[in-house]
Amino acid sequence: MTSRGIRFREGGPAAEPARPVRVLVTGAGGQLGRDLVAALGGRVPDGGRRRALVGPPGPGPGVDVIGADHARLAVEDRAAVLGAVDELRPDVIVHAGAWTAVDACQADPDRAFAVNALGTRHVAEAARRHRAHLVYLSTDYVFDGASADPYVEWDRPNPRSVYGRSKLGGERECPDGSTIVRTSWVCGAHGANMVKTVLRLADGPGELRFVDDQRGSPTFSADLAGAVVTLATERLPGVFHVTNHGATTWFGLARAVLSTVGQDPSRVRPVATADLDPPRPAPRPANSVLDNAALRLAGLPGLPEWTDGLERLVAALHLERSPA
Ligand SMILES: NC(=O)c1ccc[n+]([C@@H]2O[C@H](COP(=O)([O-])OP(=O)(O)OC[C@H]3O[C@@H](n4cnc5c(N)ncnc54)[C@H](OP(=O)(O)O)[C@@H]3O)[C@@H](O)[C@H]2O)c1
């Protein structure tokens, strides 16, 4: 068993006795993908903690995890997706691969829809062929942000950006019975995210400016991965909002990052989205706080406070910067 790259079936007898649940993760090189592969392997992802996992702490040896990163599997390539799934025969596919560059998507809608919507069509087709359970990662940006309240799973999506529309397109490709996990403002130990941006800017001089009129829930991929593992292995159908608890603005998040590393948070100044220079190409929802109503109403534990996840992520990044 390997948890990195696609392992193709070895030669030998075709008969397969009961085997571990085989989970294929797309986008396995991304920040969530890497933490998912760790969590599916029974390990605590960087910046995670055992009790952050929803349910038991990782399924351990009962799961055979296959991580397919972008270089190995580009989901817009239908033949490649069908071929890989034919070969690997996963029981569950966690489709985390996506083109997540929100502003770049705005400039290239065809590519955004090819990867995020058509790519998901291919993954869904492959899952249907093999009766694999599909778990699709989606986004808070499917909402327009006009509501003053947190969005529940049953609220009507109305995306404002190409990225949001393309991800909603992906949701609509998922067969009945799939799990759709909408999350927001993902930050993890691997890959680029706002926490790392703030830490990098904080190393330089002067003030930092972040918008104070976009509100959401920072979500830490180590915590998110634990919840996705549970939803995937339990094959719970339907839409689930899964974010860390609590909400803030990008300004609030940047201040919290500085406080967490012992720096003066007043270095961060608020700015209105309309005053950003240059303006960002893609519109963002003013409010994209997701009420994790389906988890709560089903009696499943939610994720910890976002400030708690932030502290664990900063500690993990600090260890990485200054190994013992
Ligand atoms: N990041 C967020 O704030 C956020 C918020 C809400 C929802 N989500 C969703 O959560 C999921 C995971 O996001 P993330 O934060 O882990 O983002 P990420 O770090 O950008 O990971 C996405 C991965 O998908 C890969 N990918 C890009 N194009 C692909 C393609 N054509 N075929 C297959 N893989 C492809 C990327 O590879 P390369 O980098 O090598 O191209 C990357 O490794 C995504 O579905 C995303 O839409 C993210």
Q: With contact defined as beta carbons under 8 Å apart, do 194 and 187 qualify?
A: yes
Q: Is the pLDDT of residue 242 over 90?
A: yes
pLDDT band of residue 258 (cuts 50, 70, 90) is very high
Concatenated DSSP letters for 260-297?
Answer: HTT--GGGEEEE-GGG-SSPPSS---SB-PBP-HHHHH
Cβ 220 under 6 angstroms from ligand 1: no
**N-terminal to C-terminal alpha carbon distance within the chain:** 31
- Number of residues in the chain: 324
Report residue 10's pLDDT band, with 50, 70 and 90 as the boundaries.
very low
How many other CB atoms are found less than 10 A from the CB of residue 67? Answer: 28
Q: Which atom of ligand 1 sits closest to the CA of residue 186? A: 3
Q: How confident is the model at residue 318 (pLDDT cuts 50, 70, 90)?
A: confident
Q: Rounded to whole angstroms, how far apart are CA atoms 267 and 206?
A: 7
Q: What separation in Å is there between the alpha carbon of 267 and the centre of ligand 1? A: 31
pLDDT band (50, 70, 90) for residue 9 = very low
190-223 residue pLDDT tens: 999 999 999 999 999 989 999 999 999 999 999 9
- Beta strands 215-216 and 186-187 are unpaired
The contacts of residue 282 (CB under 8 Å, 6+ apart) are 102, 103, 105, 106, 160, 161, 162, 163
How many angstroms is it from 99 CA to the middle of ligand 1?
A: 5
Distance separating alpha carbons of residues 217 and 253, to the nearest angstrom: 9
Residue 27 near ligand 1, beta carbon < 6 Å = yes
33 touches ligand 1 (CB under 6 Å): yes
Radius of gyration of the chain (CA): 19
Residue type at 3 in one-letter notation: S
Is residue 100 within 6 Å of ligand 1 at its C-beta? yes
pLDDT digits (tens, 9 = 90+) for 131-164: 999 999 999 999 999 999 999 999 999 999 999 9
| Cα distance between residue 118 and residue 76, in whole Å | 6
Write the residue with the smallest CA distance to atom 30 of ligand 1. 74
Q: How confident is the model at residue 256 (pLDDT cuts 50, 70, 90)?
A: very high
- C-alpha 281 chain-centroid distance: 22
Find tokens 């691969």 and name the residue. Answer: 97
Ligand 1 pocket member 235 (CB < 6 A): no
Question: Where are any strands of DSSP class E within the chain?
Answer: 21-26, 63-68, 92-95, 133-139, 179-183, 186-187, 208-211, 215-216, 219-220, 238-241, 248-249, 268-271
Residue 31 Cα, ligand 1 centroid: separation in angstroms? Answer: 8
Q: What's the 97 CA to ligand 1 centre distance in angstroms?
A: 5
> Looking at ligand 1, which residue's alpha carbon is closest to its atom 19?
30
Provide φ and ψ at 68, rounded to 5°.
-110, 110
pLDDT class of 6 with cuts at 50, 70, 90: very low
**What proportion of the chain, given as a percentage, has pLDDT over 90?**
84
- Check the CA dihedral 112-115-116-118 and report its sign: positive
Cβ distance 1 to 7 under 8 Å? yes
163 included as an active-site residue: yes
- Amino acid 59: pLDDT: 53
The pLDDT value recorded for residue 128 is 98
- How do residues 11-33 score in pLDDT, each as one tens digit? 445 555 567 999 999 999 999 99
